[in-house]
Amino acid sequence: MRKAIPVLSIVPVLLIFGGGLSPREARASNGIVGVEICMGCHEDHYKTYMISTHSKKGIPGSPANQAGCESCHGPGAAHVEKSGERGVGIFIFSKKIADAKSKSAKCLSCHGEGRDLAFWDMSRHKASDASCDNCHTIHSGTRKNLRAAQPDLCNICHRSIRMQQNRISHHPIREGKLKCTDCHDHHGGFGPKMVKANSLNELCYQCHAEKRGPYMWQHPPVEENCMNCHTAHGSNHAKLLQSKAPQLCQSCHDWTRHPGTIYTRFETFQGTATGSKNRMFARACLNCHSAIHGSNAPSLRGKTHVR
Ligand code: HEC
Ligand code: HEC
Ligand code: HEC
Ligand code: HEC
Ligand code: HEC
Ligand code: HEC
Ligand code: HEC
Ligand code: HEC
Ligand code: HEC
Ligand code: HEC
């Protein structure tokens, strides 16, 4: 059947050059002329279309089972009648002729009902005038029709996130162990910052379940928001921390009796053995308060997150 297409297509193409569709024929088909006619003049786009899922007759509702090229580009009769003169009478994506909304509308006419795009209206991408074809190209023959693989695709626009991934401590995105879309609903969702959960903590628990507890002794900032101490993409401090101990701890605890003040240079190097010295060295506060996410140890040790 496939082999027959080019042969068959010669016939309509010849027809075009011999005068094209009669206005009556075009009206009868709502201005739809069919894939074979487009192919006659756009062989490259035809070939890439044929590689994509959209050309598969076996998939119900695919463009192949509807108007082919014209499912996305709109009825082409007027375009063909003028022999494609400067692309008249056809919907053009890549040129800045169409706005984001009307471009996405072409895709959503089929994809609007699906689970994948159910929350598109809520997405920052839609709100920021990004459209489907910013990330997808129908004519490249790539997986899921993507313009590039992750994280490169996302990094095209998110330059500051790309820089964060290069820091010493980072979620292993560039190592290929995690994708941006493991954490984000790029098509939109209910979560803050388009994360795939109702809260940031719920997101973290999906992969770091042990941090959920329950603990007999909770550390309130952990329960409240992991981001009180961590960054999401990358940090120049170990373990994705916002800053390192003791500064990290003292940003909240400098009013407590222990320690009373932010450590000075003198306390750091001249403190007594049991005094402040060991609170600055090595892992600082974490030398003793190692159960920082919560503790189940009994009594004062647990309460003060000393394991
Ligand atoms: C008789 C030849 C011919 C046929 C048949 C034809 N086109 Fe075209 N098409 C052209 C020409 C010529 C252009 C202008 C190309 C340019 O400006 O680079 C064009 C432009 C376009 C453009 C805009 C490209 C751009 O960069 O401006 C699209 C999209 C397009 N055609 C889609 C289609 C579709 C879909 C069909 C089938 C319904 C079709 N064409 C049928 C000749 C044709
Ligand atoms: C599923 C939707 C879809 C189908 C089906 C489709 N295209 Fe496209 N086409 C696009 C999108 C999106 C772009 C712009 C991005 C890109 O280059 O992929 C595009 C780009 C083009 C362009 C370049 C001008 C432009 O609009 O940017 C031409 C020419 C074209 N398509 C022709 C065709 C032809 C011929 C067919 C059928 C053989 C076809 N297309 C089928 C979505 C589609
Ligand atoms: C005529 C209906 C129709 C139109 C219009 C349409 N699609 Fe599709 N598309 C489908 C169907 C059906 C599938 C296969 C089932 C699925 O994945 O939803 C599909 C699959 C896809 C896939 C998955 C491909 C894969 O290889 O897994 C992507 C991505 C996609 N479409 C993007 C788009 C974009 C972007 C547009 C607009 C430029 C568009 N579609 C326009 C019907 C359509
Ligand atoms: C910010 C980039 C981006 C935008 C904008 C975008 N997509 Fe996607 N889309 C992706 C990525 C990345 C994937 C693949 C996700 C994966 O690999 O799990 C995808 C997957 C898909 C799929 C296939 C779902 C599946 O897993 O089978 C469809 C269908 C789709 N997109 C349609 C659309 C439509 C329609 C629009 C516009 C309304 C759109 N996308 C806008 C990035 C985007
Ligand atoms: C491990 C989960 C995870 C991964 C993987 C991830 N993110 Fe995020 N991202 C988050 C969290 C959590 C936030 C919210 C951070 C906050 O509010 O402090 C966020 C916020 C963002 C923001 C909003 C930035 C801001 O400062 O408001 C953007 C943009 C973003 N991520 C893009 C990306 C991109 C692009 C990738 C892939 C290169 C990626 N993310 C990978 C978890 C992740
Ligand atoms: C065409 C450019 C573009 C591409 C490609 C792109 N984004 Fe975005 N994204 C934006 C814009 C614009 C915003 C809104 C401004 C901002 O927050 O930076 C945004 C916002 C976001 C946000 C923040 C949401 C919020 O509520 O603050 C996240 C998360 C995000 N994008 C993730 C992704 C992921 C994941 C990918 C890759 C699958 C991706 N983006 C690809 C342009 C893009
Ligand atoms: C989709 C899974 C996933 C999600 C969601 C996730 N992480 Fe991770 N996280 C990982 C992986 C994988 C590693 C690397 C583990 C390794 O290398 O052994 C990691 C490592 C870490 C590390 C240690 C980094 C280092 O330099 O050693 C911290 C801290 C961390 N994650 C915090 C978080 C926080 C906070 C959240 C919520 C915003 C979160 N993670 C969400 C998968 C995830
Ligand atoms: C009060 C500050 C603080 C908060 C809030 C916090 N963490 Fe941590 N986290 C740390 C510190 C400090 C380390 C380094 C511990 C070490 O080096 O022993 C760490 C290390 C980690 C690690 C890597 C080492 C390990 O223990 O597995 C992961 C994963 C992690 N945190 C996840 C989380 C998650 C998930 C949340 C939210 C539920 C969270 N953190 C909230 C301070 C915090
Ligand atoms: C975002 C603010 C914040 C950060 C950062 C923070 N804490 Fe806390 N911490 C609290 C709050 C609030 C409490 C509960 C109030 C209290 O009991 O003092 C608490 C309680 C504690 C307790 C138990 C106190 C008691 O008497 O029960 C210890 C010990 C502790 N934190 C140590 C640390 C250490 C060590 C770090 C650094 C790794 C740290 N905290 C970082 C806010 C913070
Ligand atoms: C040498 C071990 C050790 C180091 C280092 C240490 N602590 Fe403690 N900390 C303890 C012990 C033991 C307790 C419980 C007994 C007490 O209250 O003195 C405690 C109690 C606390 C408490 C709760 C009681 C109070 O004083 O409010 C806080 C908060 C606290 N530490 C914060 C910190 C911070 C922040 C650091 C780092 C700057 C730090 N600790 C370093 C051993 C240590």
Each domain of the chain, given as residue ranges in start order, spans: 4-87, 100-149, 214-303
**Is-contact 185 119, C-beta < 8 A?**
yes
pLDDT digits (tens, 9 = 90+) for 1-22: 333 334 334 434 434 433 445 5
- 293-301 mean pLDDT: 88
Q: In this predicted structure, what is the pLDDT of residue 108? A: 96
Q: For 222-251, what is each residue's pLDDT tens digit?
A: 999 999 999 999 999 999 999 998 889 988
In percent, how much of the chain has pLDDT > 90? 65
Distance in angstroms (rounded) separating the CA atoms of residues 298 and 293: 15
Q: Is the CB of 130 under 6 A from ligand 4?
A: yes
**Tens digit of each residue's pLDDT (9 = 90 or more) over 53-69:** 999 999 999 999 999 99
pTM value > 0.85:
yes
What gap in Å lies between CA 302 and CA 289, rounded to an integer? 9
State the pLDDT at residue 14: 39
- Report how far residue 159's alpha carbon sits from residue 150's, in angstroms, rounded to the nearest whole number: 13
Q: Do residues 197 and 206 make contact, with C-beta atoms less than 8 angstroms apart?
A: yes
pLDDT greater than 90 at residue 205: yes
Ligand nearest to the CA of 123: 6
Per-residue pLDDT at 255:
57
Give the model's pLDDT for residue 140: 87
Q: Is the CB of 39 under 6 A from ligand 9?
A: no
In short, whether 215's Cβ falls inside 6 Å of ligand 4 is: no
Q: Which of 133-137, 157-161, 280-284 is predicted with the least confidence, judged by mean pLDDT?
A: 280-284
Q: ∠ at Cα 241 (236, 243), nearest 5°?
A: 75
Spatial neighbors of 182 by CB under 8 A, at least 6 apart, are 196
Which residue has its alpha carbon closest to ligand 7 atom 13?
171
Please classify residue 226 by burial: count the beta carbons closer than 10 Å to its beta carbon, then call 0-12 exposed, 13-18 middle and 19+ buried. Answer: buried
Which atom of ligand 1 is the closest one to the Cα of 87? 20
Structure-block tokens of residue 64: 């192949």
**What is the distance in A from the centroid of ligand 6 to the CA of 91?**
26
pLDDT for residue 187: 97
| Phi-psi group of 230: left, alpha or beta (phi > 0 → left; psi -120 to 50 → alpha; rest → beta) | beta
109-139 confidence digits (pLDDT tens): 999 988 899 999 999 999 999 999 999 999 9
What value does the mean pLDDT of the chain take? 84
Per the rule left: phi > 0, alpha: psi between -120 and 50, beta: everything else, 88 is beta
Mean pLDDT calculated for residue range 149-162: 96
Average pLDDT over residues 200-223: 96
How many other C-beta atoms can be found within 10 angstroms of the C-beta atom of residue 6?
13
